[in-house]
Structure 1
């Protein structure tokens, strides 16, 4: 049974209100649920804040969803997504890859056709990993995850390819900005 809730009025700066609204959308929570989580974390006096910390410690590995869409015309695709509100974050020197952001969400574009022989599709499920990719690979192997391609050197850093539970190819990248900027 859900506990009874009551209204709690507070006055905040417009920037804070806007930030909380955006965060609730990013977290896929109602504004009330997000505020309740923040307050509960604060009241639990420094205990784990239920995943709301967007700034991991410097030595903490993080993984971020970064889907990639194969496109035919990069400039046309970038222009389209900019019209939807995207911001261009990065791109490769040769112009075949771009990283766009929509608030906290990201989308990669790649101007190469998908390779069905490698189980690629028009849209790929990619992740960016900030820790040691070899260590993640070791942990995934121990957990029984099917490794499609072990960690390997790529033009943008390193990549590990694994098979998802439904057979989908999942690529986990460790990016090195010095290689593509």
Structure 2
């Protein structure tokens, strides 16, 4: 576990199939929609957060149903963003499920000098941190942003797309 800081201007990608909530809105309204939609599952360790990646192909993986329409939203950090980075392999295999490994909580507790209590991402957001961990066995990472920190980003681009079993195609929808 280490603490790192994303710099102002760094890019992040979020993909969604809920384009009805995005279409026709300006970038400020889209960010508000992302903030609103990230609030949920408050009692879950991984709820109350927006899933992003600095790798566009990781974000695109969330739109993986043949024939489905979606969009990829490019976000940019408005300010430096503190982050806990975990290289624990359990995240690559997704074997931790809906719960945060105790080893992660213990390490973060040492850094913040307080026991991680309550839902994990809500706790991190209250302390002002995002969380980066492996997304898959290829060790590509995702950055999970607590809902209370979504406002620290701006939307800079939205691309609508359709997925088929061979490729993502950007298109006007």
Q: TM-score, normalised by structure 1?
A: 0.23
Larger radius of gyration: 1
By relative contact order (CA 8 Å, sep 6+), the higher-ranking structure is 2
